[in-house]
């Protein structure tokens, strides 16, 4: 969602480079996933780095959560390995909050993908939050009232991602794209033209890509 061209460079070219923003986020997530956030008490059980998925054809998603809170609730869901019923809360950690809005839509859609997976795995209707570490504040995401909006958006994004990977095409940079914080901006050659990865590789080998 941040940049289709960046997605294609990562997915097709396997391009990767870190900068200060990436390193800061990596350090935060290493801390979240190291197990120190996992605990249980009489009210809830908290677990980090849980694998979740959604096998429905329209999604076909797989990933790892930052933090999942299973909060005891008589109207909640059965959770394998836990006694009783629980409602599920997802918490995704981000290093820096946006300045003028409650949350970034690109962050929200990532957590919505987690919700689709968590709801599929635990047969629940999970709540979701972004936690911005610089302000030490949780921001609740409005998936209960705007589910249809985010569902249509993620289906559109997944369709675009599949199309790019199937064609092996690196799209041109979007007009007005903000690249200053991108870790691979210096690797983003041919910025204003699209190109076909297969054709470039085949031309290097002296083979007609067709």
Average pLDDT over the chain reads: 85
pLDDT of residue 37 exceeding 60, the answer is yes
The predicted-structure confidence for 162-190, as pLDDT tens digits, reads as follows: 999 999 888 888 777 777 777 777 777 66
- What is the average per-residue pLDDT within 46-55? 94
Q: Where are the alpha helices (DSSP H) in the chain?
A: 4-11, 20-33, 105-122, 147-167, 197-204
Choice between 69 and 36, residue whose per-residue pLDDT is larger: 69
Q: For 110, what's the count of Cα atoms within 13 Å in the CB-facing half-sphere?
A: 17
25-39, 55-69, 174-188: segment of lowest average pLDDT = 25-39
The alpha carbon of 84 is separated from its chain's Cα centroid by a whole number of angstroms, namely 30
Question: Domain locations in the chain?
Answer: 19-160
pLDDT of residue 86 exceeding 70, the answer is yes
Q: What is the model's pLDDT at position 23?
A: 59
How far, CA to CA in Å, does 145 sit from each of 73, 148, 151, 161? 21, 8, 12, 26
62-76, 100-114, 150-164, 188-202: segment of lowest average pLDDT = 188-202
Contacts of 33 (CB under 8 A, 6+ apart): 48, 49, 64, 66
pLDDT of residue 43 exceeding 90, the answer is yes
78-82, 95-99, 161-165: segment of lowest average pLDDT = 95-99
Q: Which two tokens stand for residue 175?
A: 């007009």
The predicted-structure confidence for 109-162, as pLDDT tens digits, reads as follows: 999 999 999 999 999 999 999 999 889 999 999 999 999 999 999 999 999 999
- What is the average per-residue pLDDT within 54-59? 96
What pLDDT band is residue 209 in, cutting at 50, 70 and 90?
very low
């Amino acid at each position: 969602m941040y940049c289709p061209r960046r997605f294609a460079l990562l997915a097709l070219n396997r391009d990767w480079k870190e900068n200060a923003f990436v390193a800061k986020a990596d350090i935060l997530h290493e801390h979240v996933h190291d197990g120190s956030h996992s605990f249980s008490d009489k009210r809830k059980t908290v677990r980090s780095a849980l694998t979740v998925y959604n096998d429905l054809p329209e999604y076909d998603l797989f990933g790892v959560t930052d933090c999942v809170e299973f909060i005891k609730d008589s109207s909640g869901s059965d959770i394998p390995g836990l006694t009783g019923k629980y409602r599920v809360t997802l918490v995704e950690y981000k290093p820096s909050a946006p300045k003028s809005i409650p949350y970034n839509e690109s962050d929200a859609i990532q957590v919505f993908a987690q919700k689709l997976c968590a709801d599929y795995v635990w047969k629940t209707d999970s709540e979701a939050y972004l936690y911005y570490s610089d302000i030490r504040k949780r921001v609740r995401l409005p998936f209960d009232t705007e589910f249809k909006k985010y569902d249509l958006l993620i289906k559109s994004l997944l369709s675009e991602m599949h199309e790019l990977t199937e064609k092996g095409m690196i799209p041109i940079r979007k007009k007005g794209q903000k690249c200053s914080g991108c870790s691979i901006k210096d690797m983003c050659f041919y910025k204003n033209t699209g190109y076909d990865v297969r054709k470039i590789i085949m031309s290097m080998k002296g083979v007609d890509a067709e």
